[in-house]
Amino acid sequence: MNKRKTPHYNQGTHSAIWRENLNATIFGAETRAGKSFDILLIFSISISVLSVMLSSVQELNLKYATLFNYLEWFFTGLFTLEYLARLIAVRKAMLYARSFFGLVDLLSILPSYIALLMPGLEYFLIVRILRLLRIFRIFKLVEYVDEAETLITALKNSYHKILVFLYTVLTIAIVFGSLLYVIEGSAAGFTSIPKSIYWAIVTLTTVGYGDIAPQTPLGQIISASIMIMGYGIIAVPTGIYSSELIKTHQATPISNHACPSCGELGHDSDASYCKYCGENISPD
């Protein structure tokens, strides 16, 4: 149903049938070629990301440096071709190039060329790590999953409530973190207020590294109450999101047409008459 739509920038151009086909293959998922292209791309991205990740393991890098290098150049070539194909397939190339996914596409092939142009720069970690941005490209391909939309809609609807919740969490962390900074002091690892707040967040979210832990009885009593608080207020975002998702499920959609007679809104989409003034509001 909710398939990814092919951007028809080039409709009506007579000589551009090959371009339209290319477009459907690269951007669409309806055609057989489009589907194969998507699967191949997901596979390539996965291998490429895995290769970047593994090349950061020293033992592996010493052994397989050449392999990682070859793989990197292979994928850089592949993704460069794909990037060019995308630029050709759409009519307004600049529009694509400046879009979020266009930038991600460019940024994730750039590091290899930078290393070529400015030798030595490839030793900068940050340059090499840029290639991991490729992972985002899969989202472009899975965006047709209908389910994601429901999840994101519910998230957007509960956005304000979640912000209020996050601000409350932060305030609790600041207040209790400062409190334990006063009570525990440097000896137990609470060396500054920001560090104590860090500890409070570690505790409140039930992560609990244990690198900093209260030593005094009073500190432990207050910590225990932070934990129980954190254990309890997890219920708040869960409740917000659950009720939002359930609302989405149960929603009998409401029409966004105002009554032509009284101008009131909020009519159910199956309504034939305005529920306020009785005016006929059926579309035909």
213 touching a copy of itself, by CB under 8 A:
yes
Q: Which of residues 186-205 bind a copy of itself (CB under 8 A)?
A: 191-195, 197-198, 201-205
User: In this chain, which of 132, 176, 189, 216 binds a copy of itself, going by CB under 8 A?
Assistant: 132
For 254, phi and psi rounded to 5 degrees? -100, 135
278 touching a copy of itself, by CB under 8 A:
yes
Q: Which of residues 44-73 bind a copy of itself (CB under 8 A)?
A: 49, 52-54, 56-58
45 near 53, Cβ under 8 Å? no
Angstrom distance (rounded) from CA 214 to CA 195: 13
Q: From 5-13, 84-92, 98-106, 146-154, give the range in contact with a copy of itself by CB under 8 A.
A: 146-154
Residue whose structure tokens are 């917000």: 240
Could you write out the DSSP letters of every residue in 52-94? HHHTTSHHHHHHHHHHHHHHHHHHHHHHHHHHHHHHHHSS-HH
100 touching a copy of itself, by CB under 8 A:
no
Residue whose structure tokens are 């030793």: 123
39 touching a copy of itself, by CB under 8 A:
no
140 near 101, Cβ under 8 Å? yes
74 touching a copy of itself, by CB under 8 A:
no
Q: Quick one: angle between helices 159-184 and 193-204, nearest 10?
A: 120
238 touching a copy of itself, by CB under 8 A:
yes
Q: Which is nearer to a copy of itself, 30 or 279 (CB)?
A: 279
Q: How far is the CB of 280 from a copy of itself (least distance, A)?
A: 7
Q: Which is nearer to a copy of itself, 116 or 142 (CB)?
A: 142
- Bridge partners of residue 268, in order along the sequence: 254
